[in-house]
Structure 1
Amino acid sequence: MILRTLIAVVGFAAAAALSSCSSGYTTTRSNTSNYEDELDGVASYYADEFHGRKTSSGEIYDMHALTAAHRTLPFNSIVRVTNLDNNRSVEVRINDRGPFKSKRVIDLSYRAALEIGLIANGTAPVLIEVLELGQRSGR
């Protein structure tokens, strides 16, 4: 019985460790709201072709505003995004869903990407710090 319990515990721990390896970002701290305070991964940006279109939140995308798309953070969350290549950072408000390319953790507006020097390469490794969680809605 002890051996069976030990095998179950080891199996559960291994499964939990492996499942955390498959996410697009890593957790460096956690908080009680089930969202990480800090995330890291690759950022990209979207600009011209989406300017003036409706976002997932219902807002109209403005490429000149300091906004971003994230897969799971509630709309209206405020995050600080730091480009790890040059240490420049910008605070943005989450108002859309995405990115939809694997291994990317956030899509920035053109202006936000410009502020952290992301335009030339199109992508960059970033650290995302959650400053304020937005209110959850039915979306």
Structure 2
Amino acid sequence: MLLKKSSAKQWAAISGLVILINGCSAPSGRYSIDSDIAPDAPISVEHLEDAHPKYEPYSLGGNTNYTLRGSDYTIVKDTKGFTEEGRASWYGEKFHGHLTSNGEIYDMYSMSAAHKTLPIPSYVKVTNTDNGKTTIVRVNDRGPFHEGRIIDLSYAAAYKLDVLKTGTANVKIEVITVEMPTDAKKKAALPQYIIQIATSPHKERTERLAIDMSEKLSVGSFVQSENGKHRLMLGPFHDYALTQETLEQVKVAGYPSAFIKKQTMARQ
């Protein structure tokens, strides 16, 4: 059976890795380049939608208080009404494909961001107060660790806010809280992962592609339709390593902007 649950040892190994504060703060020796840069031939991100806020349990990794470079950081316990103003920066090619603080893979073409103390994951509305542009991102990493900067945007999010040319911008961030569904409070949550391949206004084409990808990769597929947009998904997967392997196959098949999303499903 292709979709298999991770063993206890696998999850223990993953948990041990993701407790580390990596992402934006890790030493440059881990990366193929020393200084962060934009991609040489960037993929178009015009089609990318804002992150869609939903209830997600906080990650096992990346959510403990920590000390870095002599400074102590305390994770925010209650995010309701949380706002903050300061400077935003962005990170791209140097960190692309490496682990974020909660063990996901950083994809500079996803609508994500890093914050020093917000719980992971969190959904944040970011407003560029220099030009009035806004977007919604999903925080899944730690950083930026530079004085005066409050959030590190992915390449895609920085593009949406017109921050790429200036490098930094004045922003206001507002946390979007999504309450746990009432029925979910009574049931145990089982982590699952899905791969979002593409979004299209053409339902029939998306459904045909879903069938084709499912047959080629021997995994389940489905289409999420909302407001005239149809998202092609693969999964769900219980094994994160298998999800990553499938994601690489999807990218080789011609969908380099595909990315992994974590969801929860109540145990029946």
Instruction: Give the TM-score normalised by structure 1.
Output: 0.70
- Contact kept in structure 1, 2:80 and 2:177, CA below 8 Å: no
Is 1:60 matched up with 2:105?
A: yes
Q: Distance in 2 between matches of 1:56 and 1:125?
A: 25
Match of 2:78 in 1: 33
Evaluate the alpha carbon distance shift between residue 34 and residue 52 of structure 1 in structure 2; reply closer, same or farther with a 3 A threshold. Answer: closer
Query: 1:59-98 to 2 correspondence within 5 Å?
Result: 59-98=104-143
Identity %, equivalent residues: 49
SS of alignment partner, residue 52 of structure 1: coil
TM-score normalised according to structure 2 size: 0.37
- Which residue identity does 2:162 align to in structure 1? G
2:157 corresponds, among 99, 112, 115, to: 112
Q: How many angstroms does 1:34 deviate by?
A: 5.9
Structure 1: unaligned runs, 5 residues or longer: 1-31
The structure whose RCO (Cα within 8 Å, separation 6+) is larger is 1
- Is contact 1:77–1:134 with CA below 8 Å preserved after alignment? no
Structure 1 residues 131 and 35, CA gap change in structure 2 (3 angstroms): closer
Kept after mapping to 1: 8 A contact 2:79/2:175 = no
What is the distance in 2 between the residues matched to 1:134 and 1:106? 24
| Aligned CA-pair RMSD | 2.0
For the 8 Å contact 2:86–2:170, the answer to whether it is kept is yes
Contact 1:76 1:133 (C-alpha < 8 Å) held by counterparts: no
Q: What is the alpha-carbon distance in structure 2 between the residues aligned to residue 101 and residue 65 of structure 1?
A: 23
Q: How many residues align?
A: 104
Report the Cα distance in structure 1 between the residues aligned to 2:106 and 2:86, rounded to whole angstroms: 23
**Which digits, 9 at most, give the CA deviation of each residue in 1:47-103, with x for residues without a partner?**
011000111111100000000000010111100000011000110001000001111
Equivalent residues of 2:79, 2:118 under 8 A apart: no
